[in-house]
Amino acid sequence: MNSCLACWLVLAPGAQDPVLSGPQAGEKLVPFKVRVALGENAGKEADYVGSAKSGPIVLIFVHEVNRQTVSMIRVLSTYTQSRATDGLATGVIWLADDATEAETNIQRIKHALTPKAPTGISLDGREGPGAYGLNRKASLTILVGNKNLVTANFALVQPSLQADLPKILAAVVQVAGGKVPTLAEIEGKPANPRGDAPRQDVNLRPLLQPVIRKDATPAEVEKAARAVETYVQENAAARTEVGRIANTIIDSGKLDDYGTPRAREFLRDWAKKYGAKKQEKDPQQKSGRNNP
């Protein structure tokens, strides 16, 4: 059966016809070439399917770049890359007619991507590898595979971490083993000692990550910190969350473990500006006297 016709069907919201993108379960994963865009091998050619050596693999084809797709790419590749030592391979493949422009865009938003996840640009242009039957009407096409065969296909028109990620992770765990993680576990959210579970802003982690990088230059810290402040300016919930995170780090006594001295200045400032105010002690408690 022609792989272009035997594609996984995803009905776009409000659409009359299904979106077809990528080979369905049971079809072969054909090797293809990309030009590496990030890391020490940038500029070189790579074959993610061949490098997996018939082992479990997750391929993320990027048709469109927006907040939803970048969040999904970041979270999913953070998890899959964390399983590299278990033999799980990852490949993030950008599809574009202009490879130079695509590389410029990747460099522009690399702070929001998973640093060590293999990321490249398809040498086959915006349509991607011909044998894969990819469709630009999808925003992301995510293939899970093992033994050079597709085991699951997710053609996402409007990617949702809440709706789509659990199903994708379940398919990944089927080939790589282990337990399906929660979004909070992937993002490494600190435990809440009071037991409540405030809604987490999934866009904050990729914004905060470059601020607290140990090897960030002063200019990089300033740029990343300003991006955080711009984002939270019109978002009260995000401001509260940044304040909570900053206070949690400071109260843990491990502030010096986070980023550069300049980054720690921003964390202190955000704790004061956005964090919950510390409750003042009773004057009698300050003086050491007991209440009557």
Domains of the chain, CATH where assigned: 7-186 (3.40.30.10), 189-274 (no CATH)
Percent of the chain with pLDDT over 90: 55
| Residue 206 scores a pLDDT above 80 | yes
Q: Which of 172-181, 228-237, 282-291 is the least confident region?
A: 282-291
Q: How far apart are the first and last CA of the chain?
A: 86
Residue with the bigger pLDDT between 16 and 217: it is 217
Residue with the bigger pLDDT between 292 and 117: it is 117
Q: Answer whether 90's CB lies under 8 Å from 103's CB.
A: no
In this prediction the pTM is 0.62
Distance, C-alpha 49 to centroid of its chain? 21
Q: Answer whether 197's CB lies under 8 Å from 214's CB.
A: no
As a whole number, mean pLDDT of residues 120-125 equals 95
Q: Give the per-residue pLDDT at 153.
A: 96
| Residue 33 scores a pLDDT above 90 | yes
Q: How far is CA 284 from CA 30, 128, 135, 277, 278, in A?
A: 75, 71, 70, 20, 17
Q: Give the per-residue pLDDT at 283.
A: 43
Partners of residue 34 on adjacent β-strands: 46, 122
| Residue 281 scores a pLDDT above 60 | no
Q: Answer whether 195's CB lies under 8 Å from 60's CB.
A: no
State pLDDT tens for residues 253-263. 888 888 899 99
CA–CA separation, 110 vs 104, rounded Å? 10
